[in-house]
Chains A and B, each alone.
Chain A
């Protein structure tokens, strides 16, 4: 009798199940608007040209070896990653109070940050500190903070389904009512899954309350550059908060903006009050990393570091990122135009107002079911679509399918 006989089957992750169902579907016009990875107009994954170039340079570089990286990661990567988030002329960096922890993707960065906060924030080992995540949010946020030991994970108002936009009033209200020192997970840009970000004015209001209520800022930044095509624009919220004097964490992912999904390239940027605090914090981060993965993998970090630290390669990369962002923007424009041309009931402005990889269409669960079962267009039950799944070849079919779903199904 196995010792593991009573282990229950864990529920599948919705987005991967969607992709699995899509794969088994034999319909000739099937479209996958589920999982969040970039696709070209031919619906293929895209290895960024700058990445191919840098990979070759790395392989041919005789001076590189396979040594273990330091526990906190490749130093040139960490500093470059933090710089790209905070800006070249960041006063915080100049004041030597910014550090980085190389991590296994954005998930790894979130996890290390969460583990640290559980141990050292708001007294010692305080698992009761409330952690707020947006409603809705990337579903793994819950898992990461729960597994790091936090017992009280709560939603904060974010998406207003009726107006298909940000519920600022609800958000600010939750900030006012949250217990002091609560942790808030904020999406730096291109909110997943709604694609709806606060405006600069709205961010200012959010920051004001957070400062007054002594709430902890934990940014999740997975789409810098990918959202608007501009690194600076996409980092505005982060840089604003830093300029307001907040101590904060930023979990950065280079999976999307470098197309390095499978190399697990992430960085936890730590902005502290001063260098002394930073040093102590990083020493504890090291202890946490040591019992998680001990040393991070080098390949992806080397690619990113080489690219960010070399001016020509950096320019080339920005161009590649803009290519991806522009294609998404084009698909947004075209989808909205086609729905308007078809006379599909409802307003579709949100498709072009939203930003980044995802769009919250506003389709109801029944309409989503119709899309999947009858039209073989796969999207999340929440109505979230990955804009990258749209191409010039399938956009007509998708627009038509949405039109049918909205007109035939309530």
Chain B
């Protein structure tokens, strides 16, 4: 706290209202600008065509879909748009077109609800110890030198965004304590449009370009080149791992880049999410991993992370973290879970293969090998802006603005239509 009282003549620092009366306070508040993703999603929602397909992977539950078909007044449409803005998130969809539910998770939640040893106490601001331990192990591998040498900080966060935000705040405050560091931070192009916002919210201004969600991952030899460059040019890697296990079906393999950087002795940040691989979207289970060069800086960095967390959300919520910890700590659960995940991954791979085959049979121009070379939930089709618009306007097939799509949203009912639509987008004169 800075000053004691204030002088009687001190004017308000800005004149905002009229002298008399009670004018609304926030008249200067602009209506928040709509992102391209939201615009697309709104268009999807307003679309009354039965055949429309949402490949942006932002689903809606049935109730909102009903809104679409009924007669709408301006008011309802506006409220509906609000709801759509609220569902900006990617999920894995089952073959039936429903968001993914893990049977195992349901079972474990039942068990946990009757567990007498669980207390409602405040967890530490850095989260449940068992959870951060497990989350760290799945990213770095149990026998990682960094873990053994006790120079790893793990912080449970309320979701993936929160993990990125915490990492950004840590960097902004402490990356260069001698100066107030505010960038540059490089983001892959394309990338999730929220990433820029998160770094900006943390006070970082310089964000030159703007990986997730392409699915175009780098090979091990490509990573080797990149890490050599990073080391030589003294750049700092902030790795994003939002869908671990959903790429190769194997937690370890998907975390290879993180483990590789750590094994080279690099310092890094890694934001993890357990939403996708556990189907725990609503539980906000995230983790920020910080690998340091020496053990001596662990406590100071941890104390600073603690300080930042305390004025953001104070502590993370525990529900989802308990579930994840329970699964990862128990070999029987682990096996069952891996089975369910493998099923998801295989289905995604199958969809990619079938789609590629359809494109080939249709004689669609261009090469489509990238469909099967890429992995995970998302696929970067390579379609340009005009073609993406064509798909949404003329065929009611909605992709992300960059031409990426959620593979799991494709199923046996819409596959043919989608393949045809892509074919038309590339062959019709636009």
Contact of A292 (CB < 8 Å), options: B8, B14, B165, B299 = B165
Contacts of B88 in A (CB 8 A): 71, 290, 294
Contacts of A11 in B (CB 8 A): 303
Q: Does A288 contact B (CB under 8 A)?
A: yes
Q: Does B267 contact A (CB under 8 A)?
A: yes
Supposing A37-B122, A126-B13 touch, asked if A120 and B292 sit within 8 A by C-beta, the answer is no
A66 touches B279 (CB 8 A): yes
B22 touches A111 (CB 8 A): no
Contacts of A154 in B (CB 8 A): 1-4, 6
Q: In the complex, what distance in Å separates the CA atom of A272 from the CA atom of B25?
A: 8
Q: Which one of A83-91, A174-182, A356-364 is at the B interface?
A: A174-182
Give, as a whole number of angstroms, the nearest-CB distance from A268 to chain B: 13
B120 touches A155 (CB 8 A): no
B299-338 contacts to A, CB under 8 A, are 299-301, 303-304, 306-308, 310-320
Contacts of B99 in A (CB 8 A): 65-67
B210-253 contacts to A, CB under 8 A, are 236
Supposing A122-B13, A140-B310, A264-B158 touch, asked if A9 and B299 sit within 8 A by C-beta, the answer is yes
B282 touches A66 (CB 8 A): yes
Contacts of B292 in A (CB 8 A): 2, 4
Q: Does A59 contact B (CB under 8 A)?
A: yes
Q: Does A325 contact B (CB under 8 A)?
A: no
B165-184 contacts to A, CB under 8 A, are 165, 174-175, 177-178
Supposing A259-B120, A263-B319, A296-B284 touch, asked if A107 and B300 sit within 8 A by C-beta, the answer is no
Supposing A104-B317, A214-B17, A295-B89 touch, asked if A277 and B32 sit within 8 A by C-beta, the answer is no
Q: Does B121 contact A (CB under 8 A)?
A: yes
Q: In the complex, what distance in Å separates the CA atom of A287 from the CA atom of B196?
A: 12
Contacts of A3 in B (CB 8 A): 175, 236, 267, 293
The number of chain B residues with a CB under 8 A from chain A is: 97
B313 touches A67 (CB 8 A): no
Q: Does B367 contact A (CB under 8 A)?
A: no
Q: Does B395 contact A (CB under 8 A)?
A: no
Q: Which one of B39-47, B79-87, B256-264, B349-357 is at the A interface?
A: B79-87
B281 touches A293 (CB 8 A): no
Q: Does A311 contact B (CB under 8 A)?
A: no
Contacts of B294 in A (CB 8 A): 2, 5
Q: In the complex, what distance in Å separates the CA atom of A400 from the CA atom of B275?
A: 53
Supposing A104-B158, A154-B6, A297-B320 touch, asked if A71 and B283 sit within 8 A by C-beta, the answer is no
B304 touches A7 (CB 8 A): yes
Q: Does A98 contact B (CB under 8 A)?
A: no
Q: Does A320 contact B (CB under 8 A)?
A: no
Please give me the residue from chain A that is nearest to B199 by CB atom: A291
Contact of A107 (CB < 8 Å), options: B121, B159, B311 = B311
Contact of B162 (CB < 8 Å), options: A65, A70, A293 = A293
Q: In the complex, what distance in Å separates the CA atom of A106 from the CA atom of B122?
A: 13
Give, as a whole number of angstroms, the nearest-CB distance from B107 to chain A: 10
A292 touches B312 (CB 8 A): yes
Supposing A8-B300, A153-B1, A291-B198 touch, asked if A108 and B313 sit within 8 A by C-beta, the answer is yes
Give, as a whole number of angstroms, the nearest-CB distance from A382 to chain B: 15
B282 touches A68 (CB 8 A): yes
Contacts of A181 in B (CB 8 A): 12-14, 16
A4 touches B120 (CB 8 A): no
Q: In the complex, what distance in Å separates the CA atom of A155 from the CA atom of B4?
A: 7
Supposing A45-B119, A181-B14, A263-B318 touch, asked if A120 and B158 sit within 8 A by C-beta, the answer is no
A283 touches B197 (CB 8 A): no
Contacts of A26 in B (CB 8 A): none
Scoring A103, A245, A264, A282 by chain B CB atoms within 10 A of each residue's CB, the highest score goes to: A264
Supposing A66-B280, A181-B14 touch, asked if A10 and B300 sit within 8 A by C-beta, the answer is yes
B120 touches A294 (CB 8 A): no
Contacts of B109 in A (CB 8 A): 59
Q: 5 tightest A-B contacts by CB?
A: A70-B86, A180-B12, A294-B161, A273-B24, A104-B313
Instruction: List 25 A–B pairs whose Cβ atoms lie within 8 Å, in order of A's numbering.
Output: A4-B297, A5-B297, A7-B297, A35-B122, A46-B120, A66-B281, A66-B283, A103-B313, A107-B310, A111-B312, A111-B313, A140-B314, A146-B311, A154-B6, A179-B11, A245-B22, A262-B120, A264-B316, A277-B27, A279-B78, A286-B85, A287-B197, A290-B88, A291-B201, A299-B320
List 15 additional contacts besides A286-B86, A291-B161; criterion CB under 8 Å: A13-B310, A45-B121, A104-B312, A107-B314, A129-B13, A143-B307, A177-B10, A259-B120, A273-B22, A286-B85, A292-B201, A293-B165, A294-B159, A295-B161, A297-B282
